[in-house]
Structure 1
Amino acid sequence: MGKLVVIIVGPTCSGKSRLSLNLAREIHSEIISADSRQVYRLIDVGTAKPSAAERKEITHSFINSLDLDEKFDVSLYEKQALVKIDKLINLRKIPIVTGGSGLYIRALLDGIVDLQADEDLRKELFAKKENFGIEFLYKELTTVDPEAAKIMLPQNWKRVIRALEVFYLTGKSITTFHADQFRSRSNYNFLLFGLNWKRAILYKMIETRVDEMIKNGLVDEVKSILTRGYSETLNSLNSVGYKEIIAYLKNEISLETAISLIKRNTRRYAKRQLTWFRKDERIHWFDIENELDLITIKNEILNKIKAAL
């Protein structure tokens, strides 16, 4: 059956953290965060991190691990998270991965093509795109890697360029790399669960959470970060909640407008998250109408874990 790993996904504000905590308490395990922002220190209020008390009770990985100006990407996450997963399994614990960063989850499940970029090759491919158009590059791909071209649209030029990069650097199809990554995951048994609220209820919860963030000091948190000398252009601060408050502090918009934008942009982000996750047919979805449903869901997941052991 493979090494058991539980993964809980869903849009922001759906109760993933709460459910994961309750599961971890039941099975005496730890939580591996799959959130591209909670990994950074200092951005606490706007990322809705588990509380210090919750993190003390249940060990969380990839929360408060980095300074705001440290680089972190999906490739690093994949490598480090797999190491952590294996450590927990060796301790006879069932890892619980939870988060809303779809790319991080996909990297764990399927792997990513991890090659060192060749800047000269990349510049050459980008120059071809600018001079001759993406159709020219797509035709080139159909010649050197027809297998990859079959599963790509010409308009998705970033994927086309990446596939050409892989071929010219290795002589292999990008699909071969994906297949190799899939084989490397065959010794894991991933149980995937998704939380799906009715949209109107989810949006109401998002608005409530944003109001609570403002009440809990989001503005002061951003002020403190900028006072410490961190640049407002950092990738870690280029996220919903922080970029709007930064605009407010620069007198570009009012606080009322900032709050309204945070709510709107969070709703849009939640919609994108759901769109991403719904494409993955491996996820078992739970429909939720109220928070009491999370108790039932926890028990259902526990039953599925027992059945998989």
Structure 2
Amino acid sequence: MIIVLVGPTAVGKSSLAVEVAATMINNGRPAEIVNADSMLVYRGMDIGTAKPTMDERGGITHHLIDVLDISDSATVADFQQMARTVINSSLAAGVTPILVGGSFLYVRAIVDEFSFPGTDPDLRAELEAELEQIGAPALHARLAARDPEAAASILPTNGRRIVRALEVIMITGEPYSGSLPSHQYALPDVVQVGVDAPRDWLDERIERRVQQMWADGFVDEVRRLEAAGLREARTARVAIGYRQVLEFLAGEITEAEAMRRTVVLTRRFSRKQGGWYRRDDRVHWLDARTATAADVITTADRALA
């Protein structure tokens, strides 16, 4: 069995996954956690990603955390290969992998049938030059005109994914949304369990999380990463929060505005995540405010019974 724990940012997936794994292990069912969040892979990006600390991991083995430097750029195809390798190794060893993440496309690419369209280095370079010249929002507007469905699934600030979507459209002549994963599992015995909650409850958690990030030294974390090349990092620099603090450090906005924008963008992203997952009728939903490890395990066992 492969348990896939999904849901919007700040809903409590990471801590619930640890409880699920610990409960399974205590019941004689070995389990490990596989990260599917696209930013937890980067070393040093800890506070702003709410990366679980070693204490918070509760002694449970976590895979695909702190495996890349911020200068590295991991594509969805790279992540798919890394995650499937870990999952298949776990299954072969009799261990239940618990895939946890908020990155909708990454989760789908890992568990569903999905082959990636080819690339065109010259076209990619041309689009990346445009990205630097006119910015991600302008390219996002172009994508929205060509493929509204794809644009709705990509944040206007995520230049890397916007470029990739436009590249696929221009290579294939087809909508990028048509190349997204089908609702057909590529892995055996997958059960998706979603956790969600009312918007006001989640909005409050997001605001508290961002405030705690600042209290924990988030600005200093970004300052250290900036010295290590975060501004030049193609993937890491676009993460919500990090981009806003970089703008503050550059004197473009105030620190208060950086915090406010981080809250607003995180809430917006959280809403998008919830919407994406709600469209997948294979997800079994639980209320995040009351869901227990036993609820998740029972839901998964019944789904495969």
Q: Normalising by the residue count of structure 1, what TM-score does the alignment of the two structures yield?
A: 0.77
Query: How many residue pairs end up in the alignment?
Result: 265
Give a deviation string over 1:122-174, Cα, whole Å, max 9, x none. Answer: 89xxxxxxxxxxxxxxxxxxxxxxxxxxxxx9941877973784599xxxxx9
Q: 1:120 to 1:256 in 2, by over 3 A?
A: closer
**Paired residues of 1:5 and 1:188 also in contact (CA < 8 A):** yes
Of 108-117 and 88-97, more deviation after overlay is shown by 108-117
**CA distance, structure 2, for counterparts of residue 230 and residue 118 of structure 1:** 26
Match of 1:143 in 2: none
**CA distance, structure 2, for counterparts of residue 12 and residue 112 of structure 1:** 24
Measure how far apart 1:300 and its partner are: 2.0
**Structure 1: which amino acid aligns with 2:265?**
N
Give a deviation string over 1:58-113, Cα, whole Å, max 9, x none. Answer: 11111111000112011011111111111111111111001100001110232332
Q: 1:256 to 1:154 in 2, by over 3 A?
A: closer
Q: 1:285 to 1:177 in 2, by over 3 A?
A: closer
Of 222-231 and 260-269, more deviation after overlay is shown by 222-231
Identity %: 30
Measure how far apart 1:303 and its partner are: 1.8
**CA distance, structure 1, for counterparts of residue 221 and residue 166 of structure 2:** 41
**CA distance, structure 1, for counterparts of residue 269 and residue 145 of structure 2:** 26
Match of 2:220 in 1: 220
**Paired residues of 1:30 and 1:95 also in contact (CA < 8 A):** yes
Match of 2:130 in 1: none
Bigger CA radius of gyration:
1
Alignment gaps of 5+ in structure 2: 26-30, 126-143, 151-164
Measure how far apart 1:229 and its partner are: 3.9
Q: Does 1:44 align with 2:35?
A: no
Match of 1:247 in 2: 247
Pick from 6, 16, 25: which aligns with 1:9? 6
* 1:27-176 matched pairs, under 5 angstroms: 27-28=24-25, 29-55=31-57, 57-119=59-121, 155-156=146-147, 162=168, 165=171
Alignment gaps of 5+ in structure 1: 124-152, 169-173
Match of 2:196 in 1: 196
RMSD: 3.0
Hey, which of these two has a bigger chunk of helix by percent? Answer: 1
**CA distance, structure 2, for counterparts of residue 216 and residue 55 of structure 1:** 18
**Paired residues of 1:68 and 1:236 also in contact (CA < 8 A):** yes
Q: 1:209 to 1:167 in 2, by over 3 A?
A: closer
**Paired residues of 1:232 and 1:246 also in contact (CA < 8 A):** no
Match of 1:133 in 2: none
Q: Normalising by the residue count of structure 2, what TM-score does the alignment of the two structures yield?
A: 0.78
**CA distance, structure 2, for counterparts of residue 227 and residue 164 of structure 1:** 37
**Structure 2: which amino acid aligns with 1:215?**
A
Pick from 296, 300, 303: which aligns with 2:298? 303
**Paired residues of 2:222 and 2:242 also in contact (CA < 8 A):** yes
